[in-house]
């Protein structure tokens, strides 16, 4: 990849307001290339109409662009059909959709839902709600301090009582890629009295960094957000196996998701529209499509190689710094460009604030993973997360400034 050329695609890096910016908060949200914002603008300028129901040309064009975006997502994930792709606001909404529709209808008293201890709150709180409501039990797959979940964990925790397994594909704290394919195979074999447990995958951190094949993973559901893969905020998606989606009730009710309504009852539209109530975010879908095509052009293999290269440089340098501790696996190839860390005697919020004065953006806090922080014995951490438009020079400058944090805090 020619990084200097790629960076020119991102207006934020050439904006006078952001002179000298080093953006290392990509796990929270990525930046957008110009082609994404142009695609959104083009939709509003040339094809803006309420899609799906309009019988005039402009609405038909809006519908076509919206459904073309759905097909692009389906192809990107290797779904069997575009009908298996539901547009949502983000991964959080996608996961809640599964909780409120499938889980509340299928989980009962005495059943178990299995989650990992490293889950983002978005893939934990919905299952806590289901367990409280249905008097089910929440079971945790524990991980070691390096983020690895041992095979013995899922083989002992996933049982005939397990109705659903919720697992992050890539941890937003450790950056580690979980063995989702193996966990799904075991859950389908022994879960739900050998009928097979449902497997829900949080793909918010994996989809921007590694190739995802939902059929190969054998995920029943796969959730993601556009804004973490160079797309717009306010749109995401849920992949679901068609046979399961067809049996699920709608999540929200209203316009566009119905087939026929009487005073007493209603019948619902076919997939995927029964899950997309109201006016849809067609422009967001168009922006997501542009982002996916851009990432495909860059190449996920190139992105993965660059993530690993920069993480190796970053972690190697951090290991030389006094008082800096890396959270998670010591192998940089297992981080997907996400490096979480602490500095002795310095609160993570102070780390972020100090680096901000040097025009370096990192995340600090519990990263919406408080149970994991509690397990690790820390209240919060700092996190530097890299993407393909970051450079070796940025890593070097980051390390230089990081080495001075304890001194600037008066600790050296």
Residues assigned a catalytic role: 368
Residues sharing a CB contact under 8 Å with residue 389, sequence separation 6 or more, in sequence order: 3, 6, 7, 10, 13, 31
CB 328 within 8 A of CB 173: yes
How far, in Å, CA of 301 to CA of 40, rounded? 27
How far, in Å, CA of 276 to CA of 170, rounded? 27
Enter the tokens of residue 389. Answer: 């438009």
Largest CA distance in the chain: 74
Q: Which residues is 166 bridged to in the sheet? A: 115, 200
Distance of CA 37 to CAs 43, 63, 249, 291, 356, Å?
10, 19, 35, 9, 26
C-beta atoms surrounding 3 within 10 Å: 15
Residue ranges of alpha helices (H) inside 28-179 are: 34-42, 57-77, 91-98, 104-106, 125-134, 151-157
Torsion of CA 112, 114, 119, 121, to 10 degrees: -10
> Containing H/E element for 116?
strand 112-116
How far, in Å, CA of 229 to CA of 90, rounded? 12
Residues sharing a CB contact under 8 Å with residue 405, sequence separation 6 or more, in sequence order: 343, 346, 351, 354, 355
> Containing H/E element for 290?
helix 282-298
Distance of CA 105 to CAs 140, 219, 248, Å?
22, 19, 8
How far, in Å, CA of 226 to CA of 286, rounded? 11
CA end-to-end distance (rounded Å), the chain: 40
Radius of gyration of the chain (CA): 22
How far, in Å, CA of 360 to CA of 114, rounded? 38
Give the closest residue to 253 by CA, choosing from 235, 284, 277. Answer: 277
């Amino acid at each position: 990849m020619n990084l200097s050329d790629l960076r020119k695609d991102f207006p934020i890096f050439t904006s006078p307001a952001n002179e000298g910016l080093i953006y290392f908060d990509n796990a929270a949200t990525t930046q957008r290339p110009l082609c994404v914002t142009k695609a959104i603008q083009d939709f509003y300028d040339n094809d803006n109409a309420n899609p799906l129901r309009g019988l005039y040309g402009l609405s038909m064009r809006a519908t076509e662009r919206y459904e073309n975006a759905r097909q692009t997502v389906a192809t990107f994930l290797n779904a069997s059909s575009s009908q298996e792709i539901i547009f949502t606001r983000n991964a959080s909404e996608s996961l809640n959709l599964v909780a409120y529709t499938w889980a509340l209808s299928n989980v009962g008293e005495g059943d178990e839902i299995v989650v990992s201890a490293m889950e983002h709150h978005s893939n934990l709180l919905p299952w806590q709600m289901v367990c409280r409501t249905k008097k089910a039990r929440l079971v945790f797959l524990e991980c070691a301090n390096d983020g690895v979940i041992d095979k013995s964990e899922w083989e002992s925790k996933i049982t005939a009582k397990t109705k659903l397994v919720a697992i992050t594909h890539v941890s937003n704290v450790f950056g580690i890629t979980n063995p989702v394919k193996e966990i799904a195979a075991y859950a389908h074999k022994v879960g739900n009295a050998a009928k097979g447990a449902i497997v829900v995958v949080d793909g918010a951190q994996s989809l921007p960094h590694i190739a995802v094949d939902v059929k190969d993973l054998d995920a029943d559901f796969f959730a993601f957000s556009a804004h973490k893969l160079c797309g717009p905020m306010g749109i995401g998606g849920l992949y679901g196996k068609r046979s399961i989606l067809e049996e699920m009730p709608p999540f929200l009710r209203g316009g566009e998701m119905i087939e026929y309504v009487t005073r007493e009852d209603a019948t619902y539209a076919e997939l995927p529209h029964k899950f997309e109530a109201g006016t849809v975010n067609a422009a967001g879908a168009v922006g997501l499509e542009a982002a996916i095509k851009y990432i495909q052009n860059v190449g996920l293999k190139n992105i993965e190689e660059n993530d690993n290269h920069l993480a190796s440089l970053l972690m190697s340098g951090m290991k030389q710094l006094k008082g800096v501790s890396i959270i998670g696996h010591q192998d940089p190839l297992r981080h997907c460009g996400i490096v979480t860390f602490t500095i002795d005697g310095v609160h993570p919020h102070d780390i972020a604030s100090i680096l901000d004065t040097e025009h370096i953006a990192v995340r600090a806090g519990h990263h919406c993973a408080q149970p994991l922080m509690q397990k690790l014995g820390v209240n919060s951490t700092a996190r530097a997360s890299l993407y393909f438009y970051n450079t070796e020079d940025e890593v070097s400058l980051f390390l230089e400034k990081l080495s001075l944090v304890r001194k600037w805090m008066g600790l050296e």
